[in-house]
Structure 1
C-alpha cells in the first residue's frame, strides 16, 4: 500500500500465520509425504510406514525438486535451501492438474509424452537378470532420466520374452519421476498405457485382479509383466506415432512464405494441447522463463473466475456474492505479488508503463462494495493487457527456441507446425481469445 506519509513510497506488510496440530495429524501428514515419495528412510532401506521413533528421514530427489519449485515461486532464498538443492535434484516430469478437481490431465498426447519418458530418455534400462529388474532399490530412478527397469529376458509359461517390466516397476517410476502424489494416480496412468496400446500384458496378476475387480488392464505388482507394443515402440523410437497435424484453418504444407506472425498461431496450438504445454513448460524452465507460462495460465483462471463473480454480484447482490468478489480480489493480489510487483519472486518482463499502471491500481486502497466491483473490472483489463504482452513475448522468443530443441523432436514431428502460415499480419488477439484452456 502507499505510505500514508509519502504516497510515492510503497509499504509492504507481511503477515505470518503460525499454527499447531495434534500429533496424530502430524504423523498422518508425514505418511502422506512418504507415500508421495517426497521423503525416504536415510538408511537406504525401503520403508512404507512413517515411524516417529528410531528412524531418520531425508528428502528424495523428487522432494528436493518440489521444494525448489515452491521456493522459487514464493521468493524463498535462505541459504540452507540452496545448499540442499546443490546436493542434486532429479529431472522431474511436471504434470498438469485440473484447477477445479486437482485431477491429473491424462489426455492421449500427455500420456504418450510420459510413456516415452518412462521407457527411457537415453535408451532402455535393461537389467541382466530378472532379480535386478525387480529389485526395490531406492536409487533406481534418482536422476529422473533413467527409464523403467527391464529384464533382458524373462521366461513365462515356457516362452521367453525380451525387454519386459513389471507393473510394480512401472508404478514406481511414475511415483518417483513425476509429480504424482498418490499411488492410485499411477494405477490409472498404467491402465491408460494399456488402453492406448502403448504396452501390453504378457502375464497378469490374477490374485490382484480378484481383489481389485477394476484392475483388468493394469496390475501394479511384481507378478504382472508387460512389454512394449509395436505402437509403443514407435512412440519411443520416433516412428509414425499418431500422425497429428495442424487443426488451424488455411494451412499449407510448404515451408515457403511462412510469416513471422505464424509464431502466434503456433503458440495458440501449444497452449491448447496439454502434451505440448507440458513440454513447452519444461523448455521454458530450462531457459529460466517458466514464469511467463505460469502467469499466462493463472490469468486465464483469474479472468474466468472474475467474470463469473462480477456477473453473480451484479445479478443478485448479497453478502455471499460480495464474499466471492473479495475472494477474487485476493486472487488478483496473489498474482500481482507473485509476478508483477517490483521485486516479486517471478517478476515478468513487461512494458514499464503497463507495470506502473498495475502498481498504481493494485496499491490503491479498495473502498466500498460497488467500488470493489469497478476496481475488479480495471484489474481484469490490466491483467489481460499484461497477459497479451507475455503472449507476444513467448511467441516471438520462446516458441522458435522450443521448436528447434532436438530433445522434443519425437513429439513435435506429430504436429505440423510448418504448415501454419498467416496471410499478412496476424490479427490482434481479442480479450475473448485470451481466455483459453
Structure 2
C-alpha cells in the first residue's frame, strides 16, 4: 500500500500464519481434493481413495486451473506455478453460486448452458465401442470442451440404442469440466438435465434406486444408461426458441449515482441478474482478459450487504464484543478487496479514475484504532467502493457488453434472450429496474 507519509513510496506488509494439522485431518482433506478432481494418480490409473503410501499424485488440469485462478486473484507470482500452468488451461464451466450459502445456482437457463457444454462444443464425443465409452481414462476431458463419452451403439434388452452414455460418465464429466466440488453437486445437475427433458434414461439402475430412494431421476452408475432427447438435440443445435426472462434477483446491479441509462446498461442489468448469462459473460471477460471487472463488481455487492448488516448489529449492541468483532472482520474484508483490485500494482488492478484511486488509497492507509471510528471508516469505504463499482459498471456496459453480444461463440445461447426488447421496455416506461436507488437512499 502507499506509505501514509509518502504516497509515492509503496509499503508491503506480509503476514505469515502457521498452523498444525493431525494426520487424519490431512488425509481427509486430500481425499476431498481427490473427490473434487483437483488431484489424480500420476500413473494414469483411476483412484477413488487417497492413499498415503504407494501412489504418486499430481494436479489434474482442473486442479491447475483452480490454482492459477487462486494465484492470480491473490497476487502470488511464483516461477514454478507459471511453469505448471504452461500456455493453455482447460475451459472449465465456472458455475455460479449463492453468495450466502455457496450452493449452486440451478435455474433453467444455467442448466441449459451447462448441458450445451456437457454434450460437446464441437459435437458428440462418440466412441466406437462400449468399452472405450465406459472406460475410466483420466485424459478424456483435458480441454474441458470435449463432451461426455458416448457409445456409438449399445444393445439393451435386445434393442440397439445410438449415442448413449452411462450415469457414471455424466457425473465424471461434470466433476472434470466444471467447478463442482463433489459428486452430490453433479447428481443434482444431472437430475435437472432429466427433469428438463434434455436427456432421458434408456435403462435405470434399479439396485441403486433401492439403496437411494431419492435418485429416481438420475443414477450415477455404469448400469444406468442415458441418451440425449429431441429437446436436448434442439438445444444443442440452437433451434430451441423458448423465450426467457431474467430468473434470478438479488444483485444490486441497477446503478444509482446519476448514470444515464441506455440500451447497454439495460443489457448489463439483465446479464448481472441472470445466472446463466453471468456464467457466459464471465467466460467472455476471461477470454478478453478483464474478468477482474465482474469479480470486483460482485465482491463489492456482497461486501456492501455484509457491511450494512454488521453495522446495524454493532449499533444495536455497541458494547457487545461479538458485534465489534464483526466490524473488524468486515474491515479486513475491505482491505482484501482493496489489495486485490484497487491498490497500486495489485494483481487484478482495475482501470479506474486516478482521483478515485487516490481517494481510496488515502482512506485505506489511515490508521483506525477505535471501534466507533471504524464504523465511520466503513461508511466512507463503502461509498468509495460503490463509486469504483459504478465506474466498472460503466466500463463493462460500454465496452464488454457489445463484445459479448457480438461473439459468435455465444450466438446460439443468446438467441433465447431478447435484449433489445428489455431495453426498449424499460426505456418506454421511463425508468430503470425497480431496485434502482439513489446514492442517498443507499447510504
TM-score by length of structure 1 reads 0.92
Residue 295 of structure 1: aligned partner: 296
Query: Is the 8 Å Cα contact of residues 296 and 391 (structure 1) preserved in structure 2?
Result: yes
- The answer to whether 1:210 aligns with 2:210 is yes
Change in Cα spacing, 1:241 to 1:38, as seen in structure 2 (3 Å) is: farther
CA distance in 2, matches of 1:433, 1:152: 63
CA distance in 2, matches of 1:112, 1:316: 47
Q: Which runs of 5+ in 1 are unaligned?
A: 248-258
- The answer to whether 1:406 aligns with 2:413 is no
CA distance in 2, matches of 1:359, 1:282: 30
Residue 349 of structure 2: aligned partner: 347
Residue 281 of structure 1: aligned partner: 282
Report the alpha carbon displacement of residue 409 of structure 1 after superposing the two structures with TM.
Answer: 1.0
CA distance in 2, matches of 1:433, 1:183: 46
Report the alpha carbon displacement of residue 431 of structure 1 after superposing the two structures with TM.
Answer: 4.9
- The answer to whether 1:371 aligns with 2:373 is yes
Match 1:325 to one of 324, 327, 333: 327
Query: Is the 8 Å Cα contact of residues 38 and 60 (structure 1) preserved in structure 2?
Result: yes
CA distance in 2, matches of 1:109, 1:77: 37
The alignment partner of 2:160 has SS state of strand
CA distance in 1, matches of 2:85, 2:242: 38
Query: Is the 8 Å Cα contact of residues 4 and 366 (structure 2) preserved in structure 1?
Result: no
Q: Which moved more, 1:131-140 or 1:284-293?
A: 131-140
Q: What is the number of equivalent residue pairs in this alignment?
A: 424
Residue 106 of structure 2: aligned partner: 106
Report the alpha carbon displacement of residue 158 of structure 1 after superposing the two structures with TM.
Answer: 1.9
CA distance in 1, matches of 2:6, 2:169: 62
Residue 415 of structure 1: aligned partner: 417
Residue 95 of structure 1: aligned partner: 95
Report the alpha carbon displacement of residue 95 of structure 1 after superposing the two structures with TM.
Answer: 0.9
Query: What are the residue-to-residue correspondences of 1:49-128 with 2, within 5 Å?
Result: 49-86=49-86, 88-128=88-128
CA distance in 2, matches of 1:2, 1:293: 25
Change in Cα spacing, 1:412 to 1:433, as seen in structure 2 (3 Å) is: farther
Query: Is the 8 Å Cα contact of residues 311 and 327 (structure 2) preserved in structure 1?
Result: yes
CA distance in 2, matches of 1:87, 1:9: 34
Change in Cα spacing, 1:106 to 1:168, as seen in structure 2 (3 Å) is: same
Report the alpha carbon displacement of residue 4 of structure 1 after superposing the two structures with TM.
Answer: 7.2
CA distance in 2, matches of 1:63, 1:263: 36
- The answer to whether 1:305 aligns with 2:323 is no
Query: Is the 8 Å Cα contact of residues 61 and 142 (structure 1) preserved in structure 2?
Result: yes
CA distance in 2, matches of 1:4, 1:390: 26
Residue 250 of structure 1: aligned partner: none
Q: Which runs of 5+ in 2 are unaligned?
A: 248-259
Match 2:395 to one of 386, 393, 396: 393
Change in Cα spacing, 1:427 to 1:139, as seen in structure 2 (3 Å) is: closer
The alignment partner of 2:13 has SS state of coil
Residue 189 of structure 1: aligned partner: 189
Residue 255 of structure 1: aligned partner: none
Q: Which moved more, 1:42-51 or 1:419-428?
A: 419-428
Q: Deviations over 1:286-333 (max 9, x none)?
A: 000000000000000011111111122222312222111111111111
CA distance in 2, matches of 1:109, 1:152: 29
Considering only aligned residues, what root-mean-square deviation do their CA atoms show, in Å?
2.2
Change in Cα spacing, 1:341 to 1:5, as seen in structure 2 (3 Å) is: closer
Report the alpha carbon displacement of residue 234 of structure 1 after superposing the two structures with TM.
Answer: 1.2
Query: Is the 8 Å Cα contact of residues 246 and 273 (structure 2) preserved in structure 1?
Result: no
CA distance in 2, matches of 1:433, 1:283: 34
Residue 253 of structure 1: aligned partner: none
Report the alpha carbon displacement of residue 241 of structure 1 after superposing the two structures with TM.
Answer: 4.2
Query: Is the 8 Å Cα contact of residues 126 and 152 (structure 2) preserved in structure 1?
Result: yes
CA distance in 1, matches of 2:124, 2:409: 16
- The answer to whether 1:359 aligns with 2:396 is no
Change in Cα spacing, 1:57 to 1:354, as seen in structure 2 (3 Å) is: same
Query: What are the residue-to-residue correspondences of 1:258-269 with 2, within 5 Å?
Result: 261-269=262-270
The alignment partner of 1:126 has SS state of strand
TM-score by length of structure 2 reads 0.91
Residue 255 of structure 2: aligned partner: none
CA distance in 2, matches of 1:328, 1:54: 45
CA distance in 2, matches of 1:64, 1:260: 41
Query: Is the 8 Å Cα contact of residues 126 and 150 (structure 2) preserved in structure 1?
Result: yes
Query: Is the 8 Å Cα contact of residues 246 and 274 (structure 2) preserved in structure 1?
Result: no
The alignment partner of 2:201 has SS state of strand
Report the alpha carbon displacement of residue 347 of structure 1 after superposing the two structures with TM.
Answer: 0.5
Report the alpha carbon displacement of residue 32 of structure 1 after superposing the two structures with TM.
Answer: 1.1
